[in-house]
């Protein structure tokens, strides 16, 4: 799967959402998350992101901060989020689900990026 890293936080350009053919990029509060099971590895999103936030998981440097965002994306979908009683699991489409409105603890703890 492809993974959105820290460069997306507080930027949320959303070009990736427009270019994903299967609508598997979901909106949190300060970052977007690619569903690791729904993503078909087409790579369109990585080419469209203006801040280069998206990486194929097989290209991730295990020592880079972005490598933690792969496991974090799994947590976003399969662990309960604040304000939600049950995990999102496989929603099957970000447009139908709408903005989730919350982030994982990892992302929520990232200091706000100044504009």
Positions in the binding site for ligand F3S (CB under 6 A):
2, 4, 8, 11-16, 19-20, 22, 24-25, 32, 34, 39-45, 48-49, 51, 53-54
Tell me whether residue 43 or residue 98 sits nearer to ligand F3S (CB atom): 43
For 66-96, give one letter per residue: b (16+ CB within 10 A) or e: bbebbebbbbbbeeebeeeeeebeebeebee
Which of residues 26 and 75 has its CB atom nearest to ligand F3S in the complex?
A: 26
Coil, helix or strand at residue 56: strand
Here the tokens at position 74 are 């799994």
Question: Quick one: which of 68, 55, 75 has its CA closest to 4?
Answer: 55
**Shortest separation between residue 32's beta carbon and ligand F3S, angstroms:** 4
Q: Residue 85 CB, nearest distance to ligand F3S (Å)?
A: 27
Among residues 20 and 86, whose Cβ is nearest to ligand F3S?
Answer: 20
Q: How far apart are CA 7 and CA 110, in angstroms?
A: 11
Taking the complex as a whole, the smallest distance from the CB of residue 113 to ligand F3S amounts, in Å, to 11
Q: How far is the CB of 75 from ligand F3S (least distance, A)?
A: 17
């Amino acid at each position: 799967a492809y993974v959105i890293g820290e460069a997306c936080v507080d930027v949320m350009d959303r070009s990736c959402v427009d270019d994903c053919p299967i609508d598997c990029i979901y909106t949190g509060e300060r970052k977007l998350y690619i569903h690791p099971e729904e993503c078909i590895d087409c790579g369109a999103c990585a080419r469209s992101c203006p801040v280069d936030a998206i990486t194929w998981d097989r290209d991730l440097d295990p020592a880079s901060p972005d490598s933690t965002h792969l496991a974090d994306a799994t947590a976003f979908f399969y662990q309960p989020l604040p304000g939600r009683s049950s995990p999102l699991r496989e929603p099957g489409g970000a447009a139908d689900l709408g903005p989730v409105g919350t982030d994982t603890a990892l992302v929520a703890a990232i200091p706000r990026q100044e504009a």
